[in-house]
Every structure is written in C-alpha cells, then in structure tokens.
Structure 1
C-alpha cells in the first residue's frame, strides 16, 4: 500500500515538474492583414523561441513562462504582449511596417563573411535552378485579392462614395490596424495543373476550377486565364526577375556585388535544415533591387526561403511596395520548386484626393512530378479552361482548397459580392471599361468604338459614326461586327462589316468575310495603325494626306498548327479612288489613269517560340514574347484578273524581339525587309511611315515627313532602349525625380526600280504638277537618332530626334521634339 502511494506521489510530482505551457498564435501585417512568415517569436528574457511558418502561425512549448512574449522582424516595429499563467493561450500579433533604413556595418578585418556564402550560392545555382529540369508539373492553388485602401477624407466625402458606404453599413467593415477602411473589389480562386519544359522553354496551365468575383467582371472565362499560377512565377535563380513589366535583379544574380550588400545575421534551423540567415540591402536605394531576408542551406547552399521587398524608394511609379515571400522544396532530381509564394503589390494614391490599391497573390504547389517533357504540340495553348471550370459548389472548394480561407477572406467575398450589385459601382466600372477598350457591353453586343463616334477633317468636315461587335454571350463560334460613319461635307456614307466563323479554339482556326468603304491615306492606312490609336486619331483630324476612297472585299483564313506557329492567308479585292490629284501611266499603253483595282492573294507564316497567347472573348491576343524573337514571313501576289488591273508580287520579312540587357535596361528592336516585284503605281509600293504630328510613335520615322519616301525594295531597323534608372539614378539632383533615359536609332535602306520611277508622271494630262514620291539612294541610308526622358511628372515623355541624312530634301527637319503621355510603373 505504501508502495502504491509512493508511485502515485512520484507520478504527480513528475507531472507537475515537467508540466508544459503552450503559447500559440498568428503574426500578421497590420496594414494588409496578411501573414508574416519567418518572424522571430521569443519568450522575453529567455532563449526559448521559434519562427512563424509561411502562414504566420507559431507554437511555443516551454516548461516555464516569463511575463511577456516578443515578436520581431525586419521591416516591422517589434511588439511585446503580456502572458498569463494559463497552460494554453493564444496570442496574436499585428505588426506595423517600419520605414527601412540601411544600416551601417563595420567589419574589423577581412572580407564580409556573408560574401563567401553568397559566392557559394551563386556558384551552385545550376544545382538548384528548376530550369535545369527537362520538365516538371505541379498541382496549384492560386488566390488573388484586390482592395482599395488609403481612402482619403476627400475621397470618402464624395457623394458617389458616400452612397456606397451607406449601403455597406450592414456589412462588417474591413479595416487595417490603423483604422483605415479597406474596400475589396476583386477575389478569385483557381485550381490548376501547371506544366513546364525546358528545351524549348514552354509553359502551360490547365485551369480545372476557377471562381471569380469582382466589380466590373462580366466575362469569367477571360479573367480565369490570367488568375492562375502561370502569371505568378518568381524564380530567384534567374539573374533578373520580371515583375509588373520591370526587371529586378536577384540577390543571387551572377553580378550580385554590383547591386547588393549583405549581413550575416545568424544560423537558424528551418524545418530540418540548418540555414544561414542573411539580410540583403541594395547598394543604391533607387535601383530595381530587393531588401529583406534570405535563408541559405548551410550544407547545400541552396535557397530555403526568401522574404524580400522592393521599397518605395526604388525607381517605380505609384508603387509603394512590392513584397515577395517564398519557400522552396527540393524535387527528386535536386532542383528547387517554390511550394508557397505570396506577393503583395501596394499602389499609393496618385493624387491626395484619390485612393490607393492593394493587390495580394498567393500560390501553393503540391503533387510535384519530375519527368520527361511532353511534346511541343501539348503546349499549343498557354492557358486552357476545362469545359466545366466555373461549375463548382462551395463544398467542392472546401474539400479541395490547399489552404482554408480566413475569416477576413470570407468577409472580403461577401463585400465584393455586395459591391458589384450597387448601381453606381456598376456605372463607374462599365465607364472605365468603355474608355479602356473603346466598347460598351450591352447584353450580347458591344457598342463602339468611341474614337469613331466623332471626327473632323478637310474632306469629310464633321463626321459622326457608330459601330458594334458581338461578344461571347452571342456565340463562341460566330463573331459579327460593323461600323457606319457619315461625313457632312462630302455627304458620303462609310461602312465596314465583318463576319467570322471560329472553327477550332484549341488550334486557333478561323475564317472571315470582310467588306469596307472608307477614306484612307497613302502610307497611313487604318489597318496598319490600329495599334497606335493616338497617332491614328491625330493623323485623321485636320488635313488628310493623299486621301483616297478604299472599297475593299476580303476573305481570310488562319490556323495555329503548333505552339507559336501560325499560318494566315487572305484574298482581297480593293478599289483605289483618289481624292487628290493622282495619275499613273498604265503598263503597255502609257495612258494616264487615276484609279485602279487590285486582286491580291497573300499567305504568311508567323512563329513565336515562347509568345504568350490568350483567347480574349472571341479574339486571339498576344502578350508578347518572353525571350525569343517573333518571326513573320509573308508573300502576296497581285493578279491582273478577277477584277484586278495590276500584276505584281510582294515579299516581306519581319522580326521583333525584347532584350533584357541586365543593369543597362531593356531594349526592343524591329527589323523589317521586303521587295515588290513588278511595275505598280506608287500607292502599291512600300510607303514608309513618317510623322509630322507632335506625338511620338515607335511605328514611324519621327523626323520623316508623310509620304516623303517610297520603295520597292527596303530594309529597316528600329531600335529602342529604355535605360530604366541606370544613368539618372546616379545623378544626385535627378534621382529623386525618378526620371529615366531612353534612346532611339532608326535606319532605313531602300530603292525604287527604274520601271516604277517611269510609271509615275510628274504632271497630269493638263500639264499641272503632280505630287510624286521621294526615292532613297540605295547606297545612302536614312538615319535618325533620338534620346529623351520618360517618367516626367510620372506621365510625360519627351523625345529629341536628330535627322542625320537627306537634310537637303524639301521640307526636311533636321531636329524634332515629340511628346507622349504614358502610364508606366
């Protein structure tokens, strides 16, 4: 009996002696509500502590408790809270961001110890870069939230805004820790499979399920293509990361010492791996570089996790902060793949009377598989939506989310759902879309484009017009569009009409019929300037240059055979009816003629190895190439039968590429070469595009006059370079303005055959002088060089161009200043 009491006493004593306390909780950002991973949580006055996980959670077990618990993390103000003597308790923290100030570190002797760690990490990049894998695939979950924040008092006092807040009074208001209201306007969730292959570098995302709710969102299929993980790729093993269209240098880039300083803070345990913890600092605060913390595996020198920020001092517009948090896991082959990525982009108030914007992106990946690459044909379409992608119950999402929604996110969903039903919100959101796209959706039809509603020029006087196009609600196989305009001076009706049959949306295949009666200008045709809306509008107001009535009928066909390889063809009949004094000499007879008809058959091939393509409604749209150039080769045959008067051939070759040149910025070039075979009137030649407007355009030679030169064989190179902050970031008085230098070089070689010169008379049948075309000397190129400043007052760009050759031509301008408005980050 005594023995039993003794055992019981020992058990009770033991349980009291080894009794554990548990303190758990979550650490979040007070301004965004998002988790803060990797924060240090410590029982104050002890060495007992832990780091928060990727979701900001922590859990500490201790034999004894102190009176308080402390949380600290780089870029935030540390916080301390009191502890109770409870066995288990939950203590949550909301940390306030602090202004980052680069610290000064003094090393007594030798090299900074962090440098050798970075040197080893850079030297072993190939061991861990996922691009070293032949192929891999993952199953991803992505969620995106966009909120309006920093709502100013002036903004809140607007009548339209007060109407919104009055309706939202019944919903729990979302606020940050400082009491500022956050107004959610968009939330999406996407479940997808992501596929990658290295050679050639191709990506594909199959969206299995997607749920999108947002103010002004009417077409879930288009939005769902860009809310998956394909657009949330951040690989720090690249030297440069493309974020919001800018190139940011990685902390483990090959040239790291030119951009960064480092501080070795500690050696810590992350999971089962012992890691070096390093703080990262940009050498120049204006550079597009990161500040923050990185963890490097002590044994392998592979990245374990990162928490990096691009501060507001960087040479960016509107953006106050970009924050990227990422943790990586090794694949079976060794290279690392991000298992979780969180990105925050905070956009400040453009003016004191407006609001700011906060965008949050989260992606988690599991079921990682490494294997042999799938065939290139598998990657034909970059993003594919499964047929039932938008058909899933809330129960399905609860069962299949890789991470559950927080209470705050559930409140966000409710608020967005309420907001998009408010009439004034719908009015403003539709108005913004109308301004941006040119079209106003009304049911199954879009009305527009608004730039065609009103025009004024010397031929038509006041011109009024209206058009429409059907959208995907009408049909995903048929697309109809039309436009009609009337000039009150020439009393002529102009019109266009088009019907398109989409035969295959996977291997994009379509056939179209098109008819048009319109006023065009030689060398300034609407069809070639549709992507330059400001320049096109400016060139069609006032005095028209060599205008003509174009009556056109066309049938065209296109098909994408495999990833990036598109074949297109068309058959076009066109009537040229000049509205200015024009004549040419007919081949064979030598008679004067002022009108002509052409019947032209064209076939072309386009190849973009890594071009990103989206299917927007019933249109195929390019997001441009990632790395490789886009090639376009076409051949056209003009036939003097089927209504045509002229026989000729045209051959054209075009290349476009975007080049990242590291610390020096980004370049873009366009090479265009071609030849016209046969004797033709000069409107059929290549009429090189000049620019007599005040507006800059990359499509034209900006010191060349309209219709100054035409060629039947030519080759041109237009090169544009954006220095970003490379030059002006180093000038003390200018770097605070965040101006950015730009440069241009445009070169053109061309010539005209003797036969085509001969069929262009200098006088009409009555002996009056005719406007003719200028000719380039094949041994003397047209050259113009330019330089300029962009980002003036965040919206303005000014370019200065010097014309280097053909300065003796009538009306030649040796120097030109062009302006343009832009919204760039």
Structure 2
C-alpha cells in the first residue's frame, strides 16, 4: 500500500510539472563494463539544447519543445542516437568504445592533449578579443536590470508531504514545481524581486552607479538575516576573468587565460547557427578531482570570438561545504558583428547537509536579466557620484501593474502563487513556531510583540570575580527597518553579589545621509586590553565572562562605568563619520590581586587607584564594497569580505567632570581580504597607534592576549593579559587559508575536505619613561621593543565546523612563565 502511495505521489508531481516542459528525461551514461562515463555530452537531436553528465555519469535534461531523439557522445566512444519518451527518468545509455583509436592529438590516457587541439586555438582567440566585447567598447553605457532571488525546499516527495512536520500545512504542496536543471521536485519558499537602472563609464576613471527602482519580497520579508544570507550567496562575476568568486572561493573560469588549459580538458564538438551567427561548441571538464572547477560547454562566435552561451556546473568533489550542486548559465545578446552583451544570467545552488543524491535541502537561485542598453549618452562625473534615496517607501510599494510590466520574464504560476501561499502560511501557528525557532538560533533573540529578548548566548558566564554570572537583556524590534532602537541588559554575579547593567539608544534622524544620534551608559565588569584599536561602544563585546573556557589567571578585571553620546553620518555609501563624547571611571574589580594604581606624589607615597576620564573622539570608517541589507538604524551585513579602514582621534580633557588626565590618542586600523586565485584567501590586518601625554595603565594600549582555549581574531594566542603594555605600537597579522589545495591531493585525506591554514602575527611597541614613572600598579610595564611575533599552522573544516590551530612563540622565550606553544580551536560555519 505504501509503495502504491509513493507511485501515486510521484505521478502527482509529474502532473503538476507537466505544463512547464514538454520533454523531461534523466538517467546515467555507462560504458560496456558498466562503469559510469563522466562528462558525456547529451543533446536533443535537431537543437542546441543539451547537458553534460556528472562525475557519476548521471544527467537530467528538459525542454519546453517536443523532441523524440537524443544524441550521446564522448571522446573514444561511438556516438549514439536513441529515441526517447516525453517523460523518462531512468534511462541507462551504454556507449561502445570506438574500434579505431582516436587521433592522439585529441585524447591520450583520458586527457585531451593541448598541442594542435582546435578547441585550444579557439580559446586563444577568445583571450585576444575579450576586451573588445560588450560594454567595454563604449565610453559610457546604461541598461535596466531585473533580479530575482529564490529560495526553495527541494527533493519534495510523498514521505515529506506526509511528515508530521507539515501537519496542518499540507496546502503548501499545491505549489510544488520541478527543477529544469536537476529534475527534482521543489517547493518555493521565498522570492525577492528587484529592478535597477545601471549607468557606467569606462574612460577617465571607471565609474558605476546603480539605482534601485523597485523591490518586492515574499516569505521571510521581516527577517533581515535570511535576506542577507540569500543576498550573500550570489555576487557578480565575469566569465572572462581568470577566476570566478562564488561562496568566497575562487573557481577557475573555463575561459581563464592563466589557468584554464592546465585545469580543464577542452573538446570541439559541434558548430551551428545561433541567432544567425555561426558558433562553435566546446565541451570542457576538469583534469583533476577535488579542485574548484566546473564542467559544461559554451558556444563561441566564429568571427568575434565572443561567448554566446555558456553553462557551468561545479564538480561535486570540489572542497566546498553544505553545497551539493552549483549550476550557472549565461546568455549574451548579439547587437552587431562586434558587440555581444550579457542578456541573462542564471545561477542555482543546491544546499544540503551532505552530497548524497537523495538528501533533502534547499535551492538558492538567482536570475538576472538585462535590457534597454544605451551607449555613449554623455553624463558628467557628478551624475555618477549622486546616490538615490534607497529608503524611499515608494521603491518597496510598487503596484501589481508595475511588476507585471517591469519583470523581464514572467513568473510561472507557482512563483505567482507563493505570495498568496506565504501570506496564508504566516497565519498558521505551527509554522510561526518553526519559523521563530530558526530565527532564534540564527539571531540569538526571542521575538515578542515589538520586543526581542536576548542575546540568549550571553545568558550564562563565569569569571574569577563574579563567579557564576547570569545576564538578561533585550531590544526593541518593529520589523527590522525602524529608525530607532533601544537595547539593554542587566547581569548579576553570584560571588561579588553585584548587579550590572547596560542601556543604549539610537535614533536615525535623516535616513538619506544616515545621520544618527546615540547615547548610553554601562556599569559592568570588563576585561580591558583585548583590542589595540579601542572604541567607546557602550554595548560592545565583553570578554569578562569567558573563563568557562580559559586558562591561567583571569582575575585582572576592571569595574567600568561608561557613558557616551555620539553623532554619526554616512554622506557617501560605506563612508562613516562619527563624533562622540564619553565619561568613564575605572577601578580594579579584584584589588587584592590586581590594581590600576598610579602616582599622585611618589615622594610622599600618595597614589590613586581609581581613574576618572572625560574624552571626545572623532573617527572615520571606510568599508568599500561592503553590502548591507535593510534601511533601519541598524543594518545587517551581507558579507564580511570587504576592506576596512578606520582612523580614530581621541582627546582626553583634564578637569571636565573631575577628569584626571590630558592626552591625545591616534589610532589607525586596516583590514584587507585578498583572494589569491586558486591558492585560497588571505586576511591581513595592520594597526598603528600612539598616545601623546602621560596616562596610567587603564588608559594605555595593552597588547591583546588570549587566555581562552579558542582562536580569537586580532589577539595573540601565546600572550597572557597585560603581558605587554605600550603607548606606541604597530602590529601586523597575516592569515592564509589554502582551501585544501594541497591536502586534497593526498589520496587518504581527499574525502575529508580538510583545509590548510597558516598565519603569522607580530607587534612592536614601546612605553615612555614618563608613563613608566607614573605606574604604581602591580603590573610591570614590558613593551615589545624587539618586536614580538608568533606563527601558527592550522587544519580547518574538520567535520565541516571545527578548526584547530597550533601556535609557536617566535621570541621573548625567556619571559617568566612564557607560553611557548598552544593548541586552540574554533567553531564556525563556512562554505
């Protein structure tokens, strides 16, 4: 009976998808010994519609036209034509080896030779002409762009439909569709549509302006974290570049001049007219497994050598987590004999916990379409520097009539129905509970009416002063795009029997320039000196409760009372100016073992243990290429792989509110991610700073140690707290992940998908004699005048979520109780 129900359900899915394609086939290509043939070419006879089998010989192919025959071919085997039905997903195609050996120019030991290969000759022509194609031929250009992002549950079957998880929500399965790439049934869960007007300039300094005209969400429309994740999936790429960046990894482009021929096999297989242009068809597939490569084919024009169509499917053996399949299609439009322009760009990713064929997961899909190209319409530089108001509500409230005309391609019935389906789903209590659970785990906050409780991850803590620490807090929440927000917390230590708290508020007065006013107050126990570059953020990250997982003495904690007010604005996207004033008091939280004392009159043995300080500060922060989601006073970042430049000036003013010290402090911070082609990604962080004036320990720059068992960015793994103290410093951190480039070539380790990480950290600093003379604390000032450094080797992607680092101290080995070697770990979710 169960089998009968499965069959009926499968038939139902086929019926649901019937209107979307006339022919749907799938199966496997094998040789006469029953071994699968990877990268075989399958094409509908009489068309240019085809695909390439995967590493296991499996394929799926469909068309909205009626075809009755396919042709299957691969080098070294006889080409086979066979009749097909309109629906057949269990084809087994057996290819026979050719009786005569192929010319050695084309194949040798399973790899296509480079010498005299006509496909390579065509590639060389593509490289010569690539800068002459497309929009780069014109001084100025403009076009309209339509973008559709979709998020779908895949591998929908009868078992899932009958699952208790969907009890009471069975109506959602009325929207089941079938992927034209994989042939799997999927259930649409999210659509985001956008229309842009884009302008560009090539000469006299490249400039680009992109105006958001309209935006529409369905599903998860109030959850900025989900939208940010989906936006982060897909960045713009150019197939003519040597490497294509996807999921923050560099895949070798099939058109790569630098690495294409050494990475792929190329085979010239066909030629035909496409849009009245004679084109060659070239199939490509990787030479080695476990590298960041694609398989597929492309059509290239015979005179301009511009790519007309290309499809790229990432190999499943590539070292990338949580992603089973990646598929890309690009189509280019013919304007005239020398101009080809991008017309349609489609990308689909299949996210799953594992790469098994039947494992369930979700599709993330992006479709981008371009039209109405206009060239050499003169626009002055000031036009490109202007920015439209993306916070205009009209952008997000376009009529159905606008979308009916504004879409470059129509939504199918299921896509149109998702708006209504999700509106209905949002009223189902069970769905609300499931959705809230996922949202809580992702954000750390529990949503109530106009208020979020959290962060739940900070509820419990422990340190040597407070003992067990209990913390509760929350924030206002009016949908995620509100112009103001208030947040706060209170905490209690069971050993010191004291309550602590923090409270802050922000109000965005002008959304266009993002002019924000903020203020706050915090009274808490803090581990100061965990960052060289300091800020006066009232609710910044706290390390005081970390000794659950810490080693050594963790009693050097400080009671801090910090109040601040600030004004910030963003006159240009990603360029932020901030002016603030703060008042703070510092005193030791454990005076029996640690103090911040400084001399008032050393001759008469008069010293002070508390610090009172008033300060004004001005900072500039520039984050080029940073992408954000939302338009409220707080936004979510789409990705963290952007550069950061931060310059801060602080002025301590003696006498204001009984402030103790006059000083000037300058700090500069620069962080740069670098993708190095197929050799992984490097992060470099550079910091310099200097304090002018005489200040005590609580106001100096402490080189940040790390006494936890975990790897913490921008700290030194082998330093204890307060091991080095400076008033002038320079530091450089370099970390590089090879993304498994070397470990993937070791047979016994290949399937583990481990990733190599190397790093080096160094800091130089000094502390003036005047500041040393001021010191009356029980901390002996030691500055890294010889330049301290440490280096590390790590293995990442252990079980896909864990990383372990082995660190060695490079010098200052004679320091008493010096840590010379450490093993630390970190958890994280990375593609």
Q: TM-score, normalised by structure 1?
A: 0.83
Pairing of 1:313-352 with structure 2 (within 5 A): 313-329=317-333, 336-350=340-354
Which structure 2 residues correspond to residues 627-706 of structure 1 after superposition, within 5 A?
629-643=643-657, 644-706=659-721
Which residues of 2 match residues 503-522 of structure 1 at below 5 A?
503-522=509-528
Is the alpha carbon distance of 1:225 and 1:147 closer, same or farther for their aligned partners in structure 2, counting shifts above 3 Å?
closer
* Alignment pair present for 1:493 and 2:499: yes
Q: Is the 8 A contact 1:50 1:58 kept in 2?
A: no
| CA–CA distance in structure 2, aligned partners of residues 289 and 689 of structure 1 | 40
1:164–1:774: structure 2 CA closer, same or farther, 3 Å change rule?
farther
1:101-250 to structure 2, matched below 5 A, reads 107-109=103-105, 110-128=115-133, 130=135, 135-150=140-155, 159=164, 161-163=165-167, 166=170, 168=172, 171=174, 173-174=176-177, 182-197=186-201, 204-214=209-219, 216-219=220-223, 231-250=234-253
1:407 shift after superposition? 3.2
**More displaced, 804-813 or 527-536?**
527-536
Counterpart for residue 576 of structure 2 = 566
Q: Is the 1:565–1:606 Cα contact (8 Å) retained in structure 2?
A: yes
> Per the alignment, in what secondary structure is the counterpart of residue 398 of structure 1?
helix
- Equivalent residue for 1:552? 562
Give CA-to-partner distance per residue, 1:385-429, whole Å, 9 cap, x none: 542233234344333322122234345555444444332222122
1:760 offset after TM fit, Å?
1.6
Q: Which runs of 5+ in 1 are unaligned?
A: 1-23, 32-37, 43-47, 61-66, 83-91, 763-769
TM-superposed CA distance for 1:575, in Å, is: 0.5
**Tell me, what secondary structure is at the counterpart of 1:124?**
helix
1:823 aligns with 2:823: no
Q: Is the 8 A contact 1:472 1:617 kept in 2?
A: no
Equivalent residue for 2:112?
none
2:282 is the counterpart of 1:278: yes
Distance across 1 between alignment mates of 2:525 and 2:123: 63
CA contact (8 A) 1:471 1:618 kept: no
Does the Cα contact within 8 Å between 2:559 and 2:589 map onto a contact in 1?
A: yes
* Alpha-carbon contact 2:147-2:367 (below 8 Å) kept: yes
Distance 2:724 2:339 in 1: 55
Alignment match, 2:298:
294
SS state at 2:261 partner:
helix
* In 2: Cα distance, 1:772 partner to 1:315 partner: 48
**Alignment partner of 2:597 out of 584, 588, 597:** 584
Q: Does structure 2 retain, via aligned residues, the 8 Å contact 1:261–1:283?
A: yes
- Cα deviation, residue 717, structure 1: 0.4
Contact 1:788–1:800 (CA<8 Å) still a contact in 2?
yes
Q: 2:497 & 2:800 partners in 1: Cα distance?
A: 44
Deviation at residue 716 of structure 1 after TM alignment:
0.5
Query: Structure 1 residue 219: deviation in Å?
Result: 5.0
Distance in 2 between the 1:717 and 1:203 partners?
33
Alpha-carbon distance in structure 1 between the residues aligned to 2:633 and 2:89: 47
1:58 to partner: Cα distance? 6.2
Q: 1:366 to 1:173 in 2, by over 3 A?
A: closer
Could you tell which deviates more after superposition, 262-271 or 226-235? 226-235
Residue 364 (1) aligns with residue 372 (2): no
Distance (Å, rounded) in 1 between the aligned partners of 2:130 and 2:710: 46
- Change in CA separation of 1:534 and 1:432 when aligned onto 2, cut-off 3 Å: farther
Relative to structure 1, is the Cα distance of residues 747 and 230 closer, same or farther in structure 2, using a 3 angstrom cutoff?
A: closer
Deviations 1:711-769, CA, capped at 9 Å, x for gaps: 1111010001010132222222222221111111101111111111122236xxxxxxx
**Number of residue-to-residue matches in the alignment:** 759
Which structure 2 segments of 5+ residues have no match? Answer: 1-19, 28-40, 52-60, 106-114
Tell me the residue number matched to 2:474: 468
Does the CA-based 8 Å contact 1:30-1:176 persist in structure 2?
no
Pairwise CA distance, 1:577: 1.9
RMSD: 3.9
Kept in 1, the 8 Å contact 2:567–2:578? The answer is: yes
Q: Which residue of 1 aligns with 2:32?
A: none
Equivalence for 1:86: none
Give the distance between the partners of 1:797 and 1:121, measured in 2 at CA: 42
Structure-1 residue corresponding to 2:31: none
2:302 equivalent to 1:306:
no
Distance 2:634 2:102 in 1: 59
Contact 2:23 2:65 in 1 (8 A): no
Inter-partner Cα distance in structure 2 for 1:705 and 1:341 = 52
- For 2:119, what is the secondary structure of its paired residue? helix
3-state secondary structure, aligned to 2:468: strand
After superposition, give the CA deviation of every residue in 1:215-266 in whole Å (9 maximum; x if it has no partner): x44258x877887899552311222211122111211112122222200111
Residue 802 (structure 2) pairs with residue 804 (structure 1)? no
Tell me the distance in 1 between the aligned counterparts of 2:828 and 2:71: 43
Report the CA distance shift for 1:333/1:351 in structure 2 as closer, same or farther (over 3 A).
closer
Cα distance change on mapping 1:481 and 1:143 into 2, 3 Å: same
Aligned equivalents of 2:683 and 2:49: distance in 1? 45
Contact 2:578–2:620 (CA under 8 A) maintained in structure 1 = yes
How far apart are 1:677 and its partner, in Å?
1.1
Matched, 1:443 2:449: yes
Whole-angstrom CA distance in 2 between matches of 1:253 and 1:97: 35
* Secondary structure class of the residue paired with 2:390: strand
1:772 equivalent to 2:777? Answer no
Give, in angstroms, the shift of residue 94 of structure 1: 7.2
| 1:259-303 deviation per Cα after TM superposition (whole angstroms, max 9, x unaligned) | 222001111211111111001112222111111001111101111
Q: Deviations over 1:89-122 (max 9, x none)?
A: xxx6677899999x99954345211111111111
Alpha-carbon deviation of 1:681? 0.9
Aligned partner (choices 717, 729, 736) of residue 721 of structure 1: 736
Q: Which residue of 2 aligns with 1:610?
A: 625
Structure 2 counterpart of 1:88:
none
**Deviation at residue 204 of structure 1 after TM alignment:** 4.8
Q: Deviations over 1:117-164 (max 9, x none)?
A: 1111112221126567555332122222222223689877764x1525
- CA 1:351–1:735: 2 relative to 1, 3 Å: closer
Question: Are the equivalent residues in 1 in contact too, given 2:490–2:502 (CA < 8 A)?
Answer: yes
Alpha-carbon distance in 2 for matches of 1:529, 1:804? 34
2:241 aligned with 1:254, yes or no? no
- 2:167 aligns to what SS in structure 1? helix
**1:342 touches 1:362 (CA, 8 Å); kept in 2?**
yes
CA distance in structure 2 between the aligned counterparts of 1:782 and 1:799, rounded to whole angstroms: 19
Displacement of 1:811: 2.0
CA 1:545–1:519: 2 relative to 1, 3 Å? same
Give the secondary structure class of the aligned counterpart of 1:680: coil
Residue range with higher mean Cα deviation, 184-193 or 148-157? 148-157
